[in-house]
């Protein structure tokens, strides 16, 4: 449980830094008056609420997913029903996306309004044990309220980018006296927000791996699935369309082809690190156990 406590503290600290940046920009734009700080904080909260409330429909639409019946996907229904029952949580809605790129994601405001989606590619790639590991991971994103966490992070990052531009163009005398400072603000503030958002996303992936493996009682199943997904997503990456980029942080594996500097801006931690953690978890559990 040490990893979970550490990751929770890390997530809280990263959010604290993001809000400090929002309020700091508000302070600069307002020339040190509190009204702009409160205004920008309000804008941040509104954008967060909208992003969170619409998160399920946005992701499902972006992946062109459709709801499936138990007759169409009996294995998927069987696994999710067993795991949600074990976790004492309601059964989520199940979707399949008609793409050969192997991936899966979960979304929704809470367990009562959750949806889990698999692509046709991942259903063809994984065996039932590996699929169980993946679905356990996705369900833990819902149970850990990670959709809320990622929605907040994405919304605040967007607010920081917008506010930095406002501060640069409407900062008045401060911008005129220090144009270089204003230019650095409009570049560095969004960059900092993006890096913090990525840090939060990676932290939540580690937790979903650990908690999902505990739910299934089979860390090595998820480790095996991640190995296949690393190769599968490299061979069949998704196109980097805007709507897909916006929901990519929800997926179990980075859906885009990325090398070199692109890895620095990935929403997912390195697969090798995730697999190593799962192997260590399997060692402490003494092999396969059941939740």
| Sign of the CA dihedral running 186, 188, 189, 192 | positive
Largest CA distance in the chain: 68
Note whether 229 and 102 are within 8 A (CB). yes
Task: Respond yes or no: is residue 138 known to be catalytic.
Answer: yes
Q: How far apart are alpha carbons 137 and 214 in whole angstroms?
A: 9
Contact 80, 137 (CB under 8 A): no
Between CA 218 and CA 235 the distance in angstroms is 27
Q: Which of 130, 138, 205, 210 does the annotation list as catalytic?
A: 138
- Which pair of tokens denotes residue 92? 């989520």
Q: Which of 247, 269, 250 is nearest to 258 (CA)?
A: 269
For residue 247, what are its two tokens? 């929901």
Please give the DSSP secondary-structure letter assigned to residue 257.
Answer: -
Q: Active-site residue numbers?
A: 138
């Amino acid at each position: 449980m040490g990893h979970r406590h550490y990751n929770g503290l890390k997530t809280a600290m990263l959010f604290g830094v993001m809000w400090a940046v929002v309020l700091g920009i508000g302070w600069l734009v307002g020339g040190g008056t509190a009204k702009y700080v409160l205004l920008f904080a309000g804008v941040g909260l509104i954008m967060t609420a909208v992003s969170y409330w619409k998160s399920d429909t946005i992701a499902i639409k972006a992946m062109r997913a459709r709801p499936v019946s138990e007759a169409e996907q009996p294995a998927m229904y069987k696994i999710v029903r067993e795991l949600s029952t074990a976790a004492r949580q309601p059964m989520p809605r199940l979707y399949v996306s008609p793409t050969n790129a192997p991936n899966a994601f979960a979304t929704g405001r809470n367990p009562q309004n959750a949806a889990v989606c698999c692509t046709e590619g991942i259903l063809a790639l994984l065996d039932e044990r590996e699929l169980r590991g993946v679905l356990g991971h996705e369900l833990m994103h819902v149970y850990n309220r990670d959709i809320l966490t990622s929605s907040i992070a994405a919304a605040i990052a967007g607010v920081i980018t917008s506010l930095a531009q406002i501060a640069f163009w409407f900062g008045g005398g401060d911008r005129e006296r220090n144009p270089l400072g204003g230019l650095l603000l409009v570049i560095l503030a969004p960059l900092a927000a993006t890096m913090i958002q990525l840090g939060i996303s990676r932290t939540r992936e580690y937790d979903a791996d650990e908690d999902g493996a505990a739910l299934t009682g089979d860390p090595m199943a998820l480790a095996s699935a991640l190995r296949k997904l690393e190769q599968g997503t490299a061979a069949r990456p998704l196109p980097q369309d805007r709507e897909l980029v916006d929901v990519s942080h929800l997926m179990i594996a980075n859906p885009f082809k990325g090398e070199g500097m692109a890895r620095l801006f990935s929403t997912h931690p390195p697969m090798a690190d995730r697999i190593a953690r799962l192997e260590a978890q399997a060692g402490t559990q003494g092999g396969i156990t059941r939740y």
